[in-house]
Amino acid sequence: MEIIRVSNLDIGYGRTVILRGLNFSIDKGRITVVIGESGSGKTSLMKTFIGLMPPLAGEMVLAGERIDFDSQRSLEKLYLRIGVLYQTGALLNSLTLYENVALPIRIHHREWPKAKEAEIVRTMLGRVGLRDCETKYPFALSGGMRKRAALARAMVLEPDLIFCDEPSSGLDPITSAGLDELLLDLKTSLGVTFVVVTHELRSMARIADRVLVIRGETILYDGEYADLPRSDDPYIRAFFLRKVDNDH
Ligand SMILES: Nc1ncnc2c1ncn2[C@@H]1O[C@H](COP(=O)(O)OP(=O)(O)OP(=O)(O)O)[C@@H](O)[C@H]1O
Ligand SMILES: [Mg+2]
């Protein structure tokens, strides 16, 4: 089942189109990996997905409802239903982990009683293995712990989809593999839907159910990860299959 569908979507800045005529959907409860060279528009795609940047053209349908990027109410729905793990993690250093994870609740559900907030925040910290760290500050954590805390914050409103922009950037390979396992675990045990931007072929090989390859302003490959070896596109063959094979 699809949770998001985009049709004829153009994304860009002012008059500059970065991505043109995108048509794809995101499957519920699966991990879709978005891969593409630096500057190809992956973060720009994320900005549109989370409502920070209206598309230049086309439409986006979330859970059967068309998003109206001119309507604050419609955007609010997007903010609530799509969680995000930013490329840099983006935790606030002046807040404890507890407060960081509680932030979306305090912004969007000011009416929630403190006990309800505490129960949810602690559940989320537990899910990412940081149950005992709620009073710690981000600067006192390792890079991997910060990414996991940011993931807890992205999950706290139980969104339909979590967009992770380069979750393993800045992490060593072992910590990065641990984060991949966590995403897989959240997908399998809770049915969380992920869109994960990555440069790392090894990570893609581990987590991807589906793959979108961005190349030259558009989507060169949109399909099952398992079908990638059957692609006869020269770019896919040269840059992906050989490297993935070498990694194993
Ligand atoms: N605020 C902005 N205004 C104008 N152009 C921008 C802006 N942000 C990004 N761009 C341009 O959009 C293009 C895509 O950038 P984007 O950050 O989406 O790439 P990316 O695929 O996420 O790259 P990376 O892998 O390095 O993170 C680039 O050419 C970039 O220069
Ligand atoms: Mg980026």
Q: pLDDT, tens digit, for every residue of 48-95?
A: 988 889 999 999 999 999 999 999 999 988 888 898 888 766 889 899
The reply to whether ligand 1 has any atom less than 6 angstroms from the CB of 100 is no
Q: Among 89, 196, 109, which Cα is nearest to 153's?
A: 89
Q: What integer pLDDT is reported at residue 37 of this predicted model?
A: 87
Query: Which residue reads 């991990």 in tokens?
Result: 31
User: Which three-class secondary structure state does DSSP give residue 16?
Assistant: strand
165, 87 Cβ separation under 8 angstroms: yes
Q: What integer pLDDT is reported at residue 248 of this predicted model?
A: 47
The reply to whether ligand 1 has any atom less than 6 angstroms from the CB of 13 is yes
Measured in degrees and rounded to the nearest 5, phi and psi for residue 29 equal 75, 15
Secondary structure (H, E, C), 72-134: HHHHHHHHHHEEEECCCCCCCCCCCHHHHHHHHHHHHCCCCCHHHHHHHHHHHHHHCCCHHHC
Measured in degrees and rounded to the nearest 5, phi and psi for residue 183 equal -60, -45
Task: Report the nearest-CA residue for atom 25 of ligand 1.
Answer: 38
* pLDDT tens digit sequence for 217-226: 999 999 999 9
Task: Report the nearest-CA residue for atom 6 of ligand 1.
Answer: 13
Q: Is residue 210 part of a domain?
A: yes
* pLDDT tens digit sequence for 97-116: 999 999 989 988 888 899 99
Q: What integer pLDDT is reported at residue 172 of this predicted model?
A: 80
- Pairwise pLDDT comparison (210 vs 154), residue with the higher score: 210
* pLDDT tens digit sequence for 127-178: 888 889 999 999 988 888 888 899 899 888 888 899 998 888 877 888 888 8
Report how far residue 192's alpha carbon sits from residue 194's, in angstroms, rounded to the nearest whole number.
6
Q: Is residue 98 part of a domain?
A: no
Report how far residue 169's alpha carbon sits from residue 175's, in angstroms, rounded to the nearest whole number.
11
Q: Among 13, 50, 82, 40, which Cα is nearest to 221's?
A: 40
Both tokens of 185, joined, read 């675990």
The reply to whether ligand 1 has any atom less than 6 angstroms from the CB of 48 is no
User: Which three-class secondary structure state does DSSP give residue 31?
Assistant: strand
Q: Is residue 65 part of a domain?
A: yes
Q: Is residue 40 part of a domain?
A: yes
Q: Is residue 15 part of a domain?
A: yes
Q: Among 231, 212, 175, which Cα is nearest to 22's?
A: 212
Give the chain's mean pLDDT. Answer: 89
Distance 88 CA to ligand 1 centre (A): 15
List the CATH number of the domain containing 216.
3.40.50.300
The reply to whether ligand 1 has any atom less than 6 angstroms from the CB of 18 is yes
Q: Among 164, 244, 159, 150, which Cα is nearest to 196's?
A: 164
Distance 135 CA to ligand 2 centre (A): 31
Atom of ligand 1 nearest to the CA of 40: 21
Domain total of the chain: 1
Q: Is residue 113 part of a domain?
A: no
**Domain of 55, in residue numbers:** 2-92+161-247
Q: pLDDT band at residue 243, thresholds of 50, 70 and 90?
A: low
Q: What integer pLDDT is reported at residue 162 of this predicted model?
A: 92
Kindly report the number of other CB atoms within 10 A of residue 208's CB atom. 23
